[in-house]
Structure 1
Amino acid sequence: MTADGELFPRPVTEPAPGAVHLPGWLDPDQQLRLLHACREWARPPAGLRTVTMPNGGEMSVRTVGLGWHWFPYGYARTVVDGDGAPVKPFPGWLRELAQRAAADALGAAPEPYDIALINFYGADARMGMHRDSDERSDAAVVSLSLGDACVFRFGNTSDRGRPWTDVELRSGDLFVFGGPSRLAYHGVPRTLPGTAPPALGLTGRLNITLRVSGL
């Protein structure tokens, strides 16, 4: 029996060149540590917020940033579309975690990771197909999942349509995409409520996305 309750380990997969899914990369203790950190980062000031898009619509996920504050479509050192507070610092241990993740998935050399975007998904939250293209660096994006599982849709670099691959991401899973897939469209069409590990004590899904700003 694996740490996440599976009879057999789920295999590592490569949905596209430069995109790798490593199931169960974080063990239960690591997941708890990361969850506790996320709860601290979510507190105001510069805490968890709802993002309003330029067209006036609101994202269904709530988000908080570390190192740099993301807003549609750029980065700032303060929460320019919220309470105006300075963004929370990006901790060194999280940089080391991102570097280890990129190395384990892609064999990538250490990069100066300096952005974390933490997205919280409630039961009805989703994320439309988009590209992570506001950074000036082409370093791989590191994505960690906590809590409820989700359907993660990983597409192509041309547009939001097919071809794409749907991957189920569970608590503790790692997904890294770089190289030819760095600017691939991706999104979360749905979460799977009630699938979080009971010991984690989390209702909903947290996605921790780690990036290199190049700023």
Structure 2
Amino acid sequence: MDAELFPREPTVIAPGAVHLPGHLDDARQRRLLAACRDWSRGPAGLRTVRTPGGGVMSVRQVCLGWHWFPYGYARTVVDGDGAPVKPFPGWLGEWARQAVAAAAAPRDGGGADAGIGPVPDAAAFDVALVNFYPDGARMGMHRDSDERSPAPVVSFSLGDACVFRFGTTAGRSRPWTDTELRSGDSFVFGGPARLAYHGVPRTAPGTGPPGLELSGRVNVTVRVSGLAG
């Protein structure tokens, strides 16, 4: 039996955290992937991230709008080639706004509120982190706490499916909820979940849509930095 005969519905994973299955259609997945490939080229292209303790992340990354490094933001790739960060595109801010609006919409047949909070204007979104997961890559439990805005974070997935582990604000340990994110899915978290710990313990190599022609997983997280300048 084809499991897709049973549509995956938007799901509130925790107060303020919503999974939006299939939020990006095929055309928007192709557009976003083409943009990611362009952004990955140097200067200020795809880089390996090193932690202050000397560790090396298995996920490679490129940033838009503001350059993230452990643990702050800059306008240049301070831990790489030193080039100015690539600009943040307005259309990506609009996609993020749409995702937050979809996540915040009442559901469950009534006025249930996901608890995400106000929907930011598209122009408020000004930073994106593009993460590339080759086979075997993972992301440890962490929280997105370097921004100065409480606005929701929006995550878009492309390529291979993954296990997305969403915990609490109390720490990296249990309790947590594991959700499968597939190509085209979005995940939005804000409100009481904005500083929750989350991570990707594993991906599922070879599960991406063949037509996308992507080996591995790409994740684009879009944020409101709250930074001046």
* TM-score of Structure 1 vs Structure 2, range by shorter chain: over 0.9
User: Partner residue of 1:35?
Assistant: 33
* Structure 2: runs of 5 or more not aligned: 106-117
Give SS of 1:6's match: helix
1:114-160 Cα offsets, whole Å, 9 max, x none, are 00000000111000000000000000000000000000000010000
Is the CA contact (8 Å cut-off) linking 2:29 and 2:184 kept in structure 1?
yes
Q: Which residue of 2 aligns with 1:19?
A: 17
Distance 1:62 1:39 in 2: 13
The percent identity for this pair of structures is 73
Output the amino acid matched with 1:190.
R
Find the counterpart in structure 2 of residue 157 from structure 1: 169
CA distance in 2, matches of 1:19, 1:56: 32
2:148 equivalent to 1:136: yes
Question: What is the RMSD of the two structures over their aligned residues, measured on CA atoms?
Answer: 1.2
Match in the other structure for 1:184: 196
**Matched residue count:** 212
What is the distance in 1 between the residues matched to 2:120 and 2:226? 14
SS in 1 for 2:5: coil
Task: Measure the CA separation in 2 of the matches of 1:7 and 1:195.
Answer: 18
Q: TM-score normalized by structure 2?
A: 0.91
Kept in 1: contact 2:24–2:184 (CA 8 A) = yes
Distance 1:38 1:167 in 2: 24
In structure 2, give the amino acid aligned to 1:144.
Answer: F
TM-score by length of 1: 0.97
Distance 2:145 2:190 in 1: 12
Q: Please list the CA deviations of residues 13-37 of structure 1 after superposition, one character each: whole Å capped at 9, or x if unmatched.
A: 1110000001000001110000000
1:125 maps to which of 117, 132, 137 = 137
How far does the alpha carbon of each residue in 1:25-84 deviate from its partner, in whole angstroms, 9 at most, with x for none?
Answer: 000111000000000000000000000100001000000000000000000000000000
Question: Is 1:214 paired with 2:212?
Answer: no
Does residue 59 (structure 1) correspond to residue 69 (structure 2)? The answer is no
Look up the SS of the partner of 1:93 in the other structure: helix
1:6, CA displacement in angstroms?
A: 2.1
Amino acid in the other structure paired with 1:109: V
Deviation of the 1:184 alpha carbon: 0.2
Report the counterpart of residue 98 of structure 2 in structure 1. Answer: 100
Could you tell me which runs of 5 or more consecutive residues in structure 1 were left unpaired when the two chains were aligned: none
Q: How do 1:191-206 and structure 2 match up within 5 A? A: 191-206=203-218
